Amino acid sequence: MLPPWRWWAVPAAIVLGLVLGSVGDLIVSIIGAASGASVNHPPPAVNIIGDVVFDVGFVGAAIYIASLLGRLRPSEFGFRRFQLGRALWMLALAAVVYFVATGVYASLLGLHGKEQLPTGLGSSSDTAAMIGVGVFVTVIAPICEEFFFRGFIFGMLRGWLAPRSWGPWVAAIVTGLLFGAAHSGSAAVKYLLPLAFLGFLLCLLRWKTGSLYPGMALHSINNSLAFGVDELHWDAAKILAMALLALAAIAAIAGPLGRREPAVAVNGPDVGGGPISPPAAQQVGPPGL
């Protein structure tokens, strides 16, 4: 079943998320200042905690708006099991398309490296800050952003446009553009288009696999590469280890939400059919990310 949400839920959740996130970030800054932290140049801990609270504010907004429109079910946000083989090849395909497209984009514009992390996080200042930033960008951000954009916004728009064959594509485009725009405060303008394209591909990944978990995995892998290569200048082995640890953490945190939800049939024009059962589906739980 597609979620019975309404078109106004998207702008309402965005506005409420901005309010909750901004207020939460302000409270963190006030607490930091009261503890002796500089207001103009807060330490990395204050910035990291503020960013976490800001992202969680959007999660809370989505949950609240969805609760006004019906009973909350994790499966409506995409927390459900998935077909392993299908998810793996679609994740690989989305990754190849994204990296090739962004490589061409970067060469045309003369860009070097991926989108940079927000200034002020201080990932290179000390080990504790580096770990904190790593956890945020590879675990917390993928969970929160996939929940809000692909779980809530894309799910709602797709449900609203379900009678139309082009509905999922329009929902993916709109969600991707919103995803890119959401990074306008932390990434340079030249990186917003690739981020919007990534958001679009993540929507397709959720649509075609029927689950939010493959998108979380790709999101985390991308962030691990960006963080490991551009910020830490690590070699491939260290980046791979970080990515695997991040995926394990995501499975441990978000996995229980979809453990009991069966995979859905994905052979029709839209995902939203009834559950399918093993062995034909070769279902795997979230820990298989």
Taking the model in full, what pTM does it have?
0.88
Dist. CA 246–CA 213, nearest whole Å? 13
Judge whether 36 lies within some domain: yes
* Residue 275 and residue 262 in contact, taking contact as beta carbons nearer than 8 Å: yes
Judge whether 246 lies within some domain: yes
Judge whether 271 lies within some domain: no
Judge whether 38 lies within some domain: yes
pLDDT above 70 (res 226): yes
Judge whether 277 lies within some domain: no
- Which of 172-176, 191-195, 263-267 has the lowest average pLDDT? 263-267
Residue 277's pLDDT band (cuts 50, 70, 90): very low
Name residues whose C-beta falls within 8 Å of residue 236's C-beta, 6 or more positions apart in sequence. Answer: none
Count of helix runs (H) and strand runs (E) in the chain: 10, 2
* Residue 74 and residue 25 in contact, taking contact as beta carbons nearer than 8 Å: no
- Which of 9-18, 131-140, 185-194 has the lowest average pLDDT? 185-194
Dist. CA 117–CA 157, nearest whole Å? 29
Judge whether 142 lies within some domain: yes
Judge whether 120 lies within some domain: yes
3-class secondary structure, 8: coil
Residue 41's pLDDT band (cuts 50, 70, 90): confident
Number of folded domains that form the chain: 1
C-alpha angle 59/54/193, rounded to 5°?
Answer: 85
Dist. CA 240–CA 235, nearest whole Å? 9
Dist. CA 235–CA 255, nearest whole Å? 29
pLDDT above 70 (res 167): yes
| pLDDT number for residue 262 | 82
CA atoms within 13 A on the CB side of 24: 21
Judge whether 270 lies within some domain: no
Strands (E), the chain: 82-83, 283-284
Residue 268's pLDDT band (cuts 50, 70, 90): very low
Structural domain range at position 32: 9-75+83-255
C-alpha angle 268/219/199, rounded to 5°?
Answer: 60
> Encoding tokens for residue 109?
């514009």
pLDDT above 70 (res 219): yes
- Which of 66-75, 239-248, 249-258 has the lowest average pLDDT? 66-75
Dist. CA 234–CA 215, nearest whole Å? 24
